[in-house]
Chains A and B, each alone.
Chain A
Amino acid sequence: QSVLTQPPSVSGAPGQRVTISCTGSSSNIGAGYDVHWYQQLPGTAPKLLIFGNNNRPSGVPDRFSGSKSGSSASLAITGLQAEDEADYYCQSYDNGLRVFGGGTKLTVL
């Protein structure tokens, strides 16, 4: 059972918009800690996708965006592409220790 809760799977057709939620509590996201998002393509290491709730590292397309409200955060992907099919993880802090969400598998139909 992960400290941060994500839906196990989401799906969308090419060109559509999908969102992935990350629900925490008052000891982590709700305490004001930042949320980061990672993309893990099959058979590869995770890659930083969003940091500090809503910031993109250099090279990440602006189709990816993040938001945070209260004890939850969301990752939105617009203009869905086949190459976006991957696992996505949120990460934050709980009482100063690092915690991950359980991960969400995105399927592009």
Chain B
Amino acid sequence: QVQLQESGPGLVKPSGTLSLTCTVSGGSISNSHWWTWVRQSPGKGLEWVGEIFHGGRTNYNPSLKSRVTISVDKSKSQFSLNLTSVTAADTAVYYCAREDHSGTYAFDSWGQGALVTVSS
């Protein structure tokens, strides 16, 4: 069973860059899946941020596209999220997840989530 774990700073200053890493274990990051970031602002619903395939192809939420970069490091079995020019509106729990392309074609595995607060 694949497991995902987010890591990174829990506090980011306004106008700074939010950086998170998701470590994948129990399965290969090079399998035919898409690796995804989803965020949830306090008391709000889920928002798809973007995704990456192990070969480097990416798709981003149009509302965040100008500020988001998702990258992958296959040697470390990790993928990362960078979000620039953050504001308080970017305060959220950030989840990494796997979009399974071997059966469900859904987000079948999730990390526990990482709370990132944007504040000075």
Q: Residues of A at under 8 Å CB distance from B?
A: 2, 34, 36, 38, 40, 44-48, 51-52, 55, 57, 87, 89, 91, 96-103
Contact = CB atoms under 8 A, between A and B. Distances in A.
Nearest to B49: A98
Given A45-B113, A48-B104, A103-B46, 17 more contacts: A34-B105, A36-B105, A45-B95, A45-B110, A45-B111, A47-B110, A48-B106, A51-B104, A91-B48, A96-B59, A97-B59, A97-B61, A98-B51, A98-B99, A100-B48, A102-B45, A103-B45
Given A45-B95, A45-B113, A100 B108 contact: no
A100 B112 contact: no
B106 A52 contact: yes
Interface residues on B, range: 20 to 34
Closest 7 CB pairs of A and B: A51-B104, A36-B106, A103-B45, A51-B106, A45-B110, A98-B48, A100-B46
A98 B46 CA distance: 11
A87 B40 CA distance: 12
Contact of B95 (A46, A89, A91, A96): A46
A25 B107 CA distance: 22
A57 B62 CA distance: 30
17 contacts: A38-B46, A40-B46, A45-B113, A46-B38, A46-B107, A46-B110, A48-B104, A48-B108, A51-B104, A51-B106, A52-B106, A91-B46, A91-B48, A97-B48, A97-B61, A97-B62, A101-B45
Given A52-B106, A57-B104, A46 B112 contact: no
B118 to A, nearest CB: 21
B7 to A, nearest CB: 15
B117 interface: no
B91 interface: no
B36 interface: yes
A96 B38 CA distance: 16
B47 interface: yes
A40 B43 CA distance: 12
A55 B105 CA distance: 11
Interface string B85-110: 00000000001000100001111101
